[in-house]
Amino acid sequence: MMNPSTAMAKAKSSTNAGSLKGQLRRAERMKRLKYGALILPLVVFLLLTFVWPIAALLERSIENPEIVDAFPATSALLRSWDGRSLPDDSVFAAFADEAGRIKGTPLFASAAKRLNMELPGFRTLMMRTARALPVEAGTSARTALVAADERWDEPSTWQYLARNASRYTARYLLASVDRKYDDRGEIVRAGDDEAIYVAVFRRTFGMSAIVTVCCLLLGFPLAYLMATQPTKIANVLLIFVLLPFWTSILVRVAAWIVLLQSEGLVNQALMHLGITAHPLQLVFNSTGVYIAMVHILLPFMILPLYSVMKGISPTYMRAALSLGCPPFRSFWRVYFPQALPGVGAGCLLVFILCMGYYITPALLGGPKEQMASYFVAFYTNQTINWGMAAALSAILFVATLLLYMIYSRLVGHQDLAATAR
Amino acid sequence: MSSSDSPTNETPHVTFRKVQKTYDGENLIVSDLNLDIRRGEFLTLLGPSGSGKTTCLMMLAGFETPTGGEIMLGGEVINRVPPHKRNIGMVFQNYALFPHMSVRENLRFPLSVRKLSIAEIDSKVARAMDMVQLGAYGDRYPQQLSGGQQQRIALARALVFDPQLVLMDEPLGALDKQLREHMQLEIKHIQQELGITVVFVTHDQSEALTMSDRIAVFDRGVIQQIADPATLYEKPANNFVANFIGENNVLEGMVESVDGDYCQVRLDNGARLLASVGNPVHAGARTVLSVRPESVQLNIQSLGCVNRLGGYVKEIIYLGDHLRVRVELSGRKEIIVKAPAAQHKHRFDTGDAIHVGIIPEQLRALNPVIGA
């Protein structure tokens, strides 16, 4: 039974609840605005330099504006074309009209280049056609075009235009996984001469995995040592771990070339010690890439491991031993599970960095060691094929996101279970 | 320092023989430690930090190796036995419950390591959890428990594999006062019920007095005195023990004559007092006289005392059941007196002249050097 005074207090508090909540919101809003204002410059900076470029690049991987921009009316007509018989005269007329108007402009040139990517020789076709334009009065557009180049009389020529008549295409993404549209617009496996990217990605992931495992095997004992040593010694070790960070990556890669080449220090030492009679091929192959990548990425493994391990009290191991568990088993059952977030973070970091590595394999590897990023650079710098570059990047980006999600599921979840509050 | 208790025929559960430990090769953390721990006793290692008590515990657990001497468990030397083969239960200061395992998994751990059958493990775990009254908490994780509950689980884990010897390294240090006092009794009861030997490390003397059968007082790597709580308090073996256990007033002076168990001492301020002999003293030697605050009588109560001194009341603090009175004797020497509040309230005020009296039995002449 509720006595009258508590009943009244309750009623009063419930009428006040709305205004109390409002007050809280107002108080919090001020605080949030203040914090928001403080981080605003950073947010803007990140938006401009990080989020926006990535979004723009991702858009490039599906963007296909050249034909639509150059021939908007023709594109609109071609979109309703059945694709089998020759398009009707209105299409010819629209194309002749638009091509005649923009010939000689960059718009026309980029459309020609774009079509040439689909079918080598298309640029010549376009240039030849341009010369015959505009159509003289009295002749039909069809006659004029076919007179300029008889390939306009074939439906397949128009199909190339039609296929690119929409602003967005999955073509680049498909090409990144060795798929393409066939003449009927269906997705098929690319021919052997084009199908290289699956192998490239497989190599990228494989090499990243090997480098990650090597880093873990080498880094774990050192991180453990650092975590169990007195602070003074741990700090000295930490400086040695960080030392490579203070040198440019290019210098380090160059140093590895000097060290590992046929007449390099390593080979001389090996031969001097009688371990090998002839110099070993240590550079410009996978060995060189692995050595340098592991060396460069090792700190990224050690630091997260160390930071997690430092938080694990040595008492846990002692407790496990005192409970009768032999040392190695204690380590495996009590220490290692607690170090797992560090292992996950380190592996993830190294693997992701590895996937995007460009300079080290480019300088130290042979053609067989080039990873996905090499092709990104190739398409960006040499063929100026933004679509392919963006599509390959997008695949790397998605792979990274997936890995991160798996990591946060596995480690994050376990972490949560252990520290559930 | 020999034990004041009568020896038993039974072989000690644990024996330290001339054990030494140094970390840097220069300073001995533990020097020449001899200690017998009886089967089934609750022994506390008490001392200030850095006195070597924890090092002793760690050597017994096997986490530190003695640099000299030997440690015996049940008559066998265990210096070279690794910790996981010693079968000694241990409760750590911060509990050391494995955070990635639930309470039940924590308790199963020592049993699964010993390859017991599932049924046996389950029954032992259930029994241990009931013993610490946390039977319903098996599926929780340590972080979801309060400090006191974690402490109990740690205790249960140290006991679940039925060790005969359990070591505790300041296990109650992180608990608040009320819970700590409750846990002291609970641990003591469990120890008595199971009949196990417990070696308990603490720097809290009231904790030691509450729980222990015997207390070994450590200072600078040496056991200053090992005795039951009453002996330790009433007959401290030296100045350090007198100061470390309970409150103590110290009066410095010179021994004038010794007569059996009593000696005549002239204080530095000129007063002559009759004291009982704590450490062997001889005429002409410097000595410190030790008296507990509650053993000093005031005014009327001091009339029957052999030793009477005059002084002034400098401060009175009212503490409910008793008064703490700061009295200045001649020569600017101050002593603290604990007087029952009922008898003395309003009888004197700050600045009043006062008489203090001490009977010789409660005034002990000790060696002035700390650490005999």
Give tens-digit pLDDT for A151-171.
888 888 888 888 888 888 888
Please tell me the distance from the alpha carbon of residue B302 to that of residue B353, in angstroms, as a whole number: 14
Query: What interface predicted TM-score (ipTM) does this complex get?
Result: 0.82
What is the structure's pLDDT at A243? Answer: 86
CA distances, B356 to each of A369, B9, B337 (Å) = 95, 47, 9
Tokens 């009588």, residue located: B297
Inter-chain touch B109–A316, beta carbons under 8 Å: no
A to B CB pairs, distance under 8 Å: 81
Measured between CA atoms, the residue of chain A closest to residue B162 is A323
What is the structure's pLDDT at B84? Answer: 92
HSE on the CB side for B310, CA within 13 Å? 3
Residue B372 has pLDDT above 80, yes or no: no
Longest CA–CA span in chain A (Å) reads 103
Portion of chain B with pLDDT greater than 90, in percent:
47
For chain B, what is the HEC assignment? CCCCCCCCCCCCCEEEEEEEEECCCCCEEEEEEEEEECCCCEEEEECCCCCCHHHHHHHHHCCCCCCEEEEEECCEECCCCCHHHCCEEEECCCCCCCCCCCHHHHHHHHHHHCCCCHHHHHHHHHHHHHHCCCHHHCCCCHHHCCHHHHHHHHHHHHHCCCCCEEEEECCCCCCCHHHHHHHHHHHHHHHHHHCCEEEEEECCHHHHHHHCCEEEEEECCEEEEEECHHHHHHCCCCHHHHHHCCCCEEEEEEEEEEECCEEEEEECCCCEEEEEECCCCCCCCEEEEEECHHHCEEHHHHCCCCEEEEEEEEEEEECCCEEEEEEEECCCEEEEEEEEHHHHCCCCCCCCEEEEEECHHHCEEECCCCCC
Residue type, A129: T
**Chain A contact present for B23, CB below 8 A:** no
Inter-chain touch A320–B90, beta carbons under 8 Å: no
Residue type, B101: M
- Top-confidence residue, A10 or A276: A276
What is the structure's pLDDT at A414? Answer: 54
Task: Choose among A338, A414, A421: nearest Cβ to B143.
Answer: A421
CB atoms within 10 A of CB A395: 19
Tokens 């280049």, residue located: A113
Do B197 and B164 touch, CB atoms closer than 8 A? yes
Inter-chain touch B82–A321, beta carbons under 8 Å: yes
- Top-confidence residue, B3 or B175: B175
What is the structure's pLDDT at A366? Answer: 82
Give tens-digit pLDDT for A11-66.
455 555 678 888 888 888 888 899 989 999 999 999 999 899 889 888 888 888 88
What is the structure's pLDDT at B7? Answer: 44
What is the structure's pLDDT at A103? Answer: 81
Please tell me the distance from the alpha carbon of residue A92 to that of residue A98, in angstroms, as a whole number: 10
Residue A302 has pLDDT above 90, yes or no: yes
Residue A91 has pLDDT above 90, yes or no: no
Residue B165 has pLDDT above 90, yes or no: yes
Residue A7 has pLDDT above 70, yes or no: no
At A311 the three-state DSSP class reads coil
Residue A415 — very low, low, confident or very high, per pLDDT cuts 50/70/90?
low
Inter-chain touch B96–A318, beta carbons under 8 Å: yes
What is the structure's pLDDT at B3? Answer: 41
Residue type, A335: Y
**Chain B contact present for A383, CB below 8 A:** no
| Mean pLDDT, chain B, integer | 88
What is the structure's pLDDT at A419? Answer: 47
Distance of CA B1 to the CA centre of its chain: 16
- Over range A79-88, report the average pLDDT: 80
Interface test with A, best of B87, B109, B161, B169 (most A CBs within 10 A): B109
Question: Which domains does chain B possess?
Answer: 14-240 (3.40.50.300), 247-366 (2.40.50.100)
| Mean pLDDT, chain A, integer | 84
- Phi, psi at B34, each rounded to 5°: -120, 125
Do B204 and B42 touch, CB atoms closer than 8 A? no
Residue B2 — very low, low, confident or very high, per pLDDT cuts 50/70/90?
very low
Give tens-digit pLDDT for B196-224.
999 999 999 899 999 999 999 999 888 99
Residues in chain B closer than 8 A to A419 (CB atoms): 99, 141, 143
Residue B332 — very low, low, confident or very high, per pLDDT cuts 50/70/90?
confident
Residue B160 — very low, low, confident or very high, per pLDDT cuts 50/70/90?
very high
Task: Choose among B61, B93, B141: nearest Cβ to A322.
Answer: B61
Do B107 and B157 touch, CB atoms closer than 8 A? yes
Inter-chain touch B98–A417, beta carbons under 8 Å: no
Residue A10 has pLDDT above 80, yes or no: no
Distance of CA A403 to the CA centre of its chain: 11
- Top-confidence residue, A333 or A413: A333
Inter-chain touch A316–B63, beta carbons under 8 Å: no
Please tell me the distance from the alpha carbon of residue A201 to that of residue A373, in angstroms, as a whole number: 10
At A59 the three-state DSSP class reads helix
- Top-confidence residue, A195 or A6: A195
Paired sense of beta strands B14-22 and B68-73, if any: antiparallel
Question: Closest Cα of chain B to A418: distance in Å?
Answer: 5
Give tens-digit pLDDT for B240-271.
898 888 888 988 889 998 888 899 999 888 88
At A18 the three-state DSSP class reads helix
**Chain A contact present for B85, CB below 8 A:** yes
Burial of A270 (0-12, 13-18, 19+ CB in 10 A): middle
102-131 in B: which are within 8 Å (CB) of A? 109-110, 113-114
Do B262 and B277 touch, CB atoms closer than 8 A? yes
Residue A94 — very low, low, confident or very high, per pLDDT cuts 50/70/90?
confident
Question: Which domains does chain A possess?
Answer: 65-169 (no CATH), 197-418 (1.10.3720.10)
Task: Choose among A318, A323, A420: nearest Cβ to B63.
Answer: A318
Do B222 and B47 touch, CB atoms closer than 8 A? no
Residues in chain A closer than 8 A to B141 (CB atoms): 417-420
Do A377 and A356 touch, CB atoms closer than 8 A? no
HSE on the CB side for A202, CA within 13 Å? 8
Do A407 and A340 touch, CB atoms closer than 8 A? no
- Top-confidence residue, B344 or B127: B127
**Chain B contact present for A314, CB below 8 A:** no
Please tell me the distance from the alpha carbon of residue B321 to that of residue B12, in angstroms, as a whole number: 43
Task: Choose among B89, B100, B161: nearest Cβ to A338.
Answer: B100
In DSSP terms, B322 is beta-bridged to B340
Please tell me the distance from the alpha carbon of residue B372 to that of residue B354, in angstroms, as a whole number: 35
The answer to whether the Cα torsion of A248, A344, A335, A214 is positive or negative is negative
Distance of CA A266 to the CA centre of its chain: 35
Give tens-digit pLDDT for A127-149.
888 887 777 777 788 888 888 88
Please tell me the distance from the alpha carbon of residue A410 to that of residue B136, in angstroms, as a whole number: 28
CA distances, A316 to each of A366, B210, B266 (Å) = 48, 29, 57
At A343 the three-state DSSP class reads helix
Mention every residue, 6+ apart, whose C-beta is less than 8 A from residue B280. none
User: Crossing angle of helices B118-131/B147-159, nearest 10°?
Assistant: 140
Which of A156, A59, A164, A171 is closest to A112 using CA atoms? A164
- Over range A189-208, report the average pLDDT: 85
Task: Choose among B86, B100, B143: nearest Cβ to A337.
Answer: B100
Portion of chain A with pLDDT greater than 90, in percent:
24
Give tens-digit pLDDT for A343-392.
988 998 899 889 888 888 888 888 888 888 888 888 888 888 888 899 99
Residue A421 has pLDDT above 60, yes or no: no
Asked if the peptide bond before residue A134 counts as cis, ω within 30 degrees of 0, the response is yes
Residues in chain B closer than 8 A to A313 (CB atoms): 94, 96
Interface test with B, best of A318, A323, A335 (most B CBs within 10 A): A323
Please tell me the distance from the alpha carbon of residue B217 to that of residue B232, in angstroms, as a whole number: 9
Paired sense of beta strands B28-37 and B14-22, if any: antiparallel
Measured between CA atoms, the residue of chain A closest to residue B91 is A319
pTM: 0.76
